Structure formats: C-alpha cells, structure tokens
Amino acid sequence: MSVIAANLQAVNRRVAAAAQQAGRPAGEVTLLAVSKTFPAAAVQAAFDAGQRAFGENYVQEGVDKIAQLGDLRDQISWHFIGPLQSNKTRVVAERFDWVHAIDRLRIAERLSAQRPAGMAPLQVCLQVNISGEASKSGVAPDEVPALARAVAALPGLRLRGLMAIPEPQSDMEAQRRPFAALRALADTLRAAGLDVDTLSMGMSADMEAAIAEGATVVRIGTAIFGARDHATAPEATQARPA
C-alpha cells in the first residue's frame, strides 16, 4: 500500500469517527482531497485508493492536472477552492465542476456567462469571512443573504452552500464556534427559501470540530498528501494549508 493510500484510509477513519461522535452518518460528509502543489501522480495514487473528489487552489496547476488525468475526467469531481481573479474565470468555468470561493457577484456573473451551454451547471459555494479577519477573502456574514439570492438566480450555476476558512484555533470548542456560525447562516438561507445543502468547512487540523457542526465537505490536503513545499506553488494564495 502506498503512503497516500494509507493516509487516505486514516483520514476516512477520522471522518467516520467524527461523524459517529456527532450522531451523523459518515456518508453525509464528503472528503475533498486538496492536491494543490502535488503532482498528477499523487492524485492518481489517491484515485487508485478510492478517492474521487479533488480540490485545487491554483488555476493553471489545476487545469494541467485535469489534462494529465484526462482519461479519468468522467470519474473525478474537480473543485476549485482558491481565490479567483476575474481574468481566470473562463478556464475555471470550462474545466471545473465546483467553485468554493465566490465572494463577489462579479465573479459569479462571469462564471455564469462563461459556463459552456452543454455542461451541467457549475456547483458553487459562497466564501464567508466568518472570523472577520482583515487578511482573509470572503463576504461578510451580514452580506451573505443578498449575495446568495443574486448568485442563485444566475443561469449556468447552482448555489450549493457556504464555505469558510476560520482563524486557526487549537481548542476544540474555539474551533467549533465559527463553524456553528456558518451553519446558522446556512439555516437562515434555507429559511428564506434558498435550496442550499453544502457546508464546505474543516481541514486537517480541525475537521472533527467542523463535522460536529454539520460540515458536508471537509477539505483535507496535508493529512493525505503530506507537508507542502509552498515555494513551488505557481500562484500566490492566502489560504492556509488544508
């Protein structure tokens, strides 16, 4: 068994244990393997071990991997999870299945207009700056309902829910608070009639807290692929390791 396969098994066990502790079926939580900065061979190894959903932070790196693994395209769900600039929306709209980090209407409008007509709607989440960090991307919580209504009305997109990257905390209860706030925000959207079903929250260091608060997608990189060498990253990102 490869190291990646063993790591993936261990992470799946963590997800299942956290779901059981929270009184939730493990099947309610999707494991998104964050493969940024790792080669296509690492994605292939995870695929061979049963993983099917992969997240990328850098547009060109992600597009290159999608091309290199083109024979698996119908079996892999590709998620773009990093900050997205206006001049890179077209290739994301054309190549990816999900976008997790929409924080302004202009980006959503471009993705909508650029999604090819023959493709299924692009699944999207709004990124919320749930901890109020000045250095972090994301829409402010009080601005989420208006943005959600506008994005949900766009053709070519399907608004699925919310994403957040909270400020790091070492204490479980402190980790849970922002995740609980994001869950409450999603509940508000549902009460307003929006069909949202996704909470993309939780990474290698805090997935248990996120699952306890209702995460449906956990974004895990380091615990699967190992430590990253960020000096090799092709584009800058402000997101901390997943």
User: What Å distances lie between residue 207 and 103, 161, 211, CA to CA?
Assistant: 23, 18, 6
- How far, in Å, CA of 209 to CA of 176, rounded? 5
What pLDDT was estimated at residue 12? 97
Whether the CB-CB separation of 52 and 97 falls below 8 Å is answered with: no
SS3 content of the chain, % helix, strand, coil (to 5): 45, 15, 40
For residues 13-22, average pLDDT: 97
For residues 80-88, average pLDDT: 95
User: What Å distances lie between residue 43 and 33, 48, 95, 109, 133, CA to CA?
Assistant: 9, 9, 17, 31, 32
pTM for this entry: 0.93
Indicate whether 240 pLDDT > 70. no
Place of tokens 């584009």: 235
Whether the CB-CB separation of 242 and 223 falls below 8 Å is answered with: no
pLDDT in tens, 101-148: 999 999 999 999 999 999 999 999 999 999 887 778 899 999 999 999
Whether the CB-CB separation of 201 and 164 falls below 8 Å is answered with: yes
Domains and CATH numbers, the chain: 3-232 (3.20.20.10)
For residues 170-176, average pLDDT: 95
For residues 68-88, average pLDDT: 97
